[in-house]
Structure 1
Amino acid sequence: MSSSTDGAPAARAPEREQWSGQVGFLFAAIGSAIGLGNIWRFPGVAYSNGGGAFMIPYIIALLFVGIPVLFLDYSLGHRLRGSAPAVFRRLSRRFEWLGWWQVFICFVIMTYYAVVVAWSLSYTVFSVTLAWGDDAAGFFSNYVGTDRFGDAAPSFSIAPMTGVIIPLVIVWAFGIVTISRGVSNGVEKANRIFLPLLVVMFLALVVRSILLPGATGGLNALFSPDWSSLGDFKVWMAAFAQIFFSLSIGFGIMLTYASYLRPRSNLVGTGLVAAFANSSFEVLAGIGVFSTLGFMAHAQGIAVGEIDKISGPSLAFVTFPTVIAQMPGGTIFGVLFFASFAMAGLTSFISIIQVVVPGVSEKTGMSIPRTTLLVCLPSAALSLLLFGTASGLFDLDIVDAFINNIGVVGSATITCIGVTWVLRRAKPLQRHLNLVSETRAVGAWWRFLIAVVAPLALAYMLFRTVRSYVQDGYEGYSGAMLGAFGWGMLALGAIIVAVLSLTRWRTPVDDFTPIDLDAPLAAAEEEN
Structure 2
Amino acid sequence: LHKLGDLKVWINALSQAAWSTGAGWGLLLTYAVYSRKKENPILTSATLGFGDYFASLLAAVTIIPTVFSFFSGQNLAQEKVLEVMKTDNVGLTFIWIPNLFSKIPSGSFFLALFFLALCFAAFSSLISQLELIARIFMDCGLTRKKAVFIVGISCFALGLPSAISLGFFNNQDWVWGMGLIVSGAFFIFLVLKTGPKKFREEIISTSETRFKLGKGFDFLVKFILPIQLIAMLGWWFWDSYSNDPGNWYKIFSQSTLGTVLFQWTVAIVVFLGFNKIISKKLSKKNEN
> Please, what TM-score do these two structures have when normalized by structure 2?
0.83
Equivalent residue in structure 2 for 1:429, among 183, 187, 199: 199
1:293 corresponds to 2:67? yes
Equivalent residue in structure 1 for 2:215, among 433, 444, 454: 444
Tell me, in whole angstroms, the C-alpha distance in 1 between the residues paired with 2:107 and 2:251: 42
1:278 corresponds to 2:83? no
Report Cα offsets for 1:234-273 as digits up to 9, x if no partner. 4444443433333221332112211221211122222222
The 8 Å contact of residues 269 and 438 in structure 1, kept in 2 or not, is answered as no
Equivalent residue in structure 2 for 1:327, among 104, 108, 133: 104
Higher relative contact order (CA 8 A, sep 6+): 1
Counterpart of 1:456, as a letter, is I
Residues 177-326 of structure 1 mapped to structure 2, 5 A cutoff: 227-302=1-76, 306-307=80-81, 308-310=83-85, 311-326=88-103
Equivalent residue in structure 2 for 1:494, among 261, 268, 274: 268
User: Which residue number corresponds to residue 171 of structure 2?
Assistant: 398
Tell me, in whole angstroms, the C-alpha distance in 2 between the residues paired with 1:480 and 1:242: 25
Task: Quickly say closer, same or farther: Cα 1:369–1:349, change in 2 above 3 A.
Answer: same
Residues 3-82 of structure 1 mapped to structure 2, 5 A cutoff: none
**CA positional deviation for 1:470:** 4.2
**CA positional deviation for 1:316:** 0.2
SS in structure 2 of the partner of residue 326 of structure 1: coil
Counterpart of 2:136, as a letter, is G
SS in structure 2 of the partner of residue 435 of structure 1: coil
The 8 Å contact of residues 410 and 459 in structure 1, kept in 2 or not, is answered as no
1:462 corresponds to 2:233? yes
SS in structure 2 of the partner of residue 388 of structure 1: helix
**CA positional deviation for 1:344:** 1.6
Report Cα offsets for 1:294-327 as digits up to 9, x if no partner. 3422431235552223241000011111112222
Tell me, in whole angstroms, the C-alpha distance in 1 between the residues paired with 2:207 and 2:151: 34
Report Cα offsets for 1:54-75 as digits up to 9, x if no partner. xxxxxxxxxxxxxxxxxxxxxx
The 8 Å contact of residues 413 and 459 in structure 1, kept in 2 or not, is answered as no
Counterpart of 2:273, as a letter, is V
Residues 343-422 of structure 1 mapped to structure 2, 5 A cutoff: 343-363=120-140, 365-384=141-160, 386-389=161-164, 392-405=165-178, 407-420=179-192
Task: Quickly say closer, same or farther: Cα 1:249–1:404, change in 2 above 3 A.
Answer: same
**CA positional deviation for 1:443:** 0.4
The 8 Å contact of residues 138 and 147 in structure 2, kept in 1 or not, is answered as yes
Tell me, in whole angstroms, the C-alpha distance in 2 between the residues paired with 1:440 and 1:501: 33
Counterpart of 1:306, as a letter, is K
Deviates more, 1:334-343 or 1:228-237: 228-237
SS in structure 2 of the partner of residue 499 of structure 1: helix
The 8 Å contact of residues 417 and 451 in structure 1, kept in 2 or not, is answered as no
Structure 1 residue ranges without an equivalent (≥5): 1-226, 513-528
Q: How many residues align?
A: 278
> Please, what TM-score do these two structures have when normalized by structure 1?
0.48
**CA positional deviation for 1:427:** 1.3
**CA positional deviation for 1:461:** 2.2
Task: Quickly say closer, same or farther: Cα 1:403–1:231, change in 2 above 3 A.
Answer: closer
The 8 Å contact of residues 427 and 447 in structure 1, kept in 2 or not, is answered as yes
Counterpart of 2:184, as a letter, is A
Percent identity, aligned pairs only, is 20
User: Which residue number corresponds to residue 138 of structure 1?
Assistant: none
Counterpart of 1:459, as a letter, is I
The 8 Å contact of residues 67 and 100 in structure 2, kept in 1 or not, is answered as yes
**CA positional deviation for 1:488:** 4.3
**CA positional deviation for 1:276:** 1.4
Counterpart of 2:162, as a letter, is F
Tell me, in whole angstroms, the C-alpha distance in 2 between the residues paired with 1:442 and 1:510: 35
SS in structure 1 of the partner of residue 38 of structure 2: coil
The 8 Å contact of residues 362 and 506 in structure 1, kept in 2 or not, is answered as no
Tell me, in whole angstroms, the C-alpha distance in 2 between the residues paired with 1:446 and 1:290: 36
The 8 Å contact of residues 251 and 262 in structure 2, kept in 1 or not, is answered as no
Tell me, in whole angstroms, the C-alpha distance in 2 between the residues paired with 1:250 and 1:452: 20
Counterpart of 1:429, as a letter, is F
Counterpart of 1:434, as a letter, is S
Tell me, in whole angstroms, the C-alpha distance in 2 between the residues paired with 1:473 and 1:357: 40
Tell me, in whole angstroms, the C-alpha distance in 2 between the residues paired with 1:287 and 1:465: 28
Task: Quickly say closer, same or farther: Cα 1:305–1:248, change in 2 above 3 A.
Answer: farther
Counterpart of 2:31, as a letter, is Y
Tell me, in whole angstroms, the C-alpha distance in 1 between the residues paired with 2:4 and 2:276: 47
Counterpart of 1:309, as a letter, is V
